[in-house]
Amino acid sequence: MRLRGLIFIVSAVSSFIALDSCQNQDQLSYVRYYTNGKMLYDQHCQNCHNANGNGLGKLIPPLTDSLFLRKNKALLACIIKHGLNDSITINNTIYHEQMPGNSQLTDIDIAQIITYITNSFGNKQGFYDVSNAGNDLKNCRD
Amino acid sequence: MQENKFVISSAFLVKGQLNKYLCKSHSNTSLMRNSFLIIPFVVLLSACQSGSDNKLPILGNREAVEKTVDGKTVVDTVYQTIPHFSFLNQDSVALTDKDFDGKIYVADFFFTSCPSICPVMHRNMLKVFEEFKGNEEVGLLSHTIDYKYDTPSKLKAYAQKLGVYGKQWQFAWGERDVVYPLAEKNYLVAVNQDKDAPGGYVHQGWFILVDKEKRLRGAYDGTKPDQVEQMIRDMNTLLKEYK
Mean of pLDDT values over B39-48: 48
Closest CA to B37 of B17, B16, B11, B51: B17
Identity of the residue in A47, A57, A100 whose CB atom sits nearest the CB atom of B120: A47
Residues of A with CB under 8 A from a CB of B: 47-48, 50, 56-60, 97-98, 100
Assess contact for B192 and B201: CB atoms under 8 A.
Answer: yes
Burial (CB < 10 A; 0-12, 13-18, 19+), residue B91, is middle
Say if B158 is an interface residue toward chain A (CB within 8 Å).
Answer: yes
Quote the minimal CA–CA distance from A58 to chain B in Å. 5
Are the beta carbons of B140 and B127 closer than 8 angstroms? no
Query: How high is the pLDDT of residue A9?
Result: 82
Give the number of residues written for chain A. 142
A19 band by pLDDT with thresholds 50, 70 and 90 = low
Which segment of A39-48, B47-56, B223-232 scores lowest on mean pLDDT?
Answer: B47-56
Separation between Cα atoms, residue A18 and residue A14, nearest integer Å: 6
- Looking at 3.40.30.10, 3.30.930.10, 3.40.50.970, 3.20.20.70, the CATH number of the domain B86-241 comes to 3.40.30.10
Contacts of A105 in chain B (CB under 8 A): none
Check the CA dihedral B70-B72-B74-B78 and report its sign.
positive
- Full set of structural domains in chain A with CATH: 2-138 (1.10.760.10)
Query: Quick one: average pLDDT of A54-83?
Result: 95
How much is the mean pLDDT over chain A?
A: 91
Q: Are B90 and B170 in contact (CB under 8 A)?
A: yes
Please determine, for residue B20, whether its predicted confidence score (pLDDT) is greater than 90. Answer: no
Is B243 touching A (CB cutoff 8 A)? no
Nearest to A57 by CA among B208, B158, B42: B158
Query: Hey, is the C-beta of B200 within 8 angstroms of any chain A C-beta?
Result: no
Higher per-residue pLDDT: B180 or B30: B180
pTM of the predicted model as reported, rounded to 2 decimal places: 0.75
Confidence of residue A22 (pLDDT cuts 50, 70, 90): low
Q: How do strand B138-144 and strand B169-172 relate by DSSP bridges?
A: parallel
Overall average pLDDT of the B110-139 stretch: 94
Most A CBs within 10 A among B155, B161, B171, B223, hence the mutation to make, goes to B161
Residues A113-135 have a mean pLDDT of: 96
Average pLDDT over residues B192-215: 91
Q: How confident is the model at residue A11 (pLDDT cuts 50, 70, 90)?
A: confident
A104-110: Cβ within 8 A, 24+ apart: A105/A40, A105/A44, A105/A80, A105/A81, A107/A77, A107/A133, A107/A134, A107/A137, A108/A133, A109/A40, A110/A77, A110/A80, A110/A81, A110/A137
Residue B4 confidence (pLDDT) = 41
Chain A partners of B116 at a C-beta cutoff of 8 Å?
47
For residue A54, the chain B residue with the least C-alpha distance is B123
pLDDT digits (tens, 9 = 90+) for B32-43: 455 555 555 544
Q: How far is CA A33 from CA A36, A119, B146, in A?
A: 5, 11, 38
CB-based contact, B225 to chain A, within 8 Å: no
Give the distance from residue A99's alpha carbon to the nearest chain B alpha carbon, in angstroms.
8
- ipTM more than 0.95? no
- DSSP-derived letter for residue B185 is I
* Domain positions in chain B: 2-52, 86-241
From A82's Cα to the closest Cα of chain B, the distance in A is: 14
B23 pLDDT above the threshold of 60: no
pLDDT tens sequence across B130-142: 999 999 999 999 9
Q: H or E stretch including B160?
A: helix B152-162
Q: Do B116 and A98 touch (CB under 8 A)?
A: no
Considering only the beta carbons, identify the residue of B116, B158, B163 that sits closest to A47.
B116
CB A100 within 8 A of CB A83: yes
Q: B150-182: per-residue pLDDT in tens?
A: 999 999 999 999 999 999 999 999 999 999 999
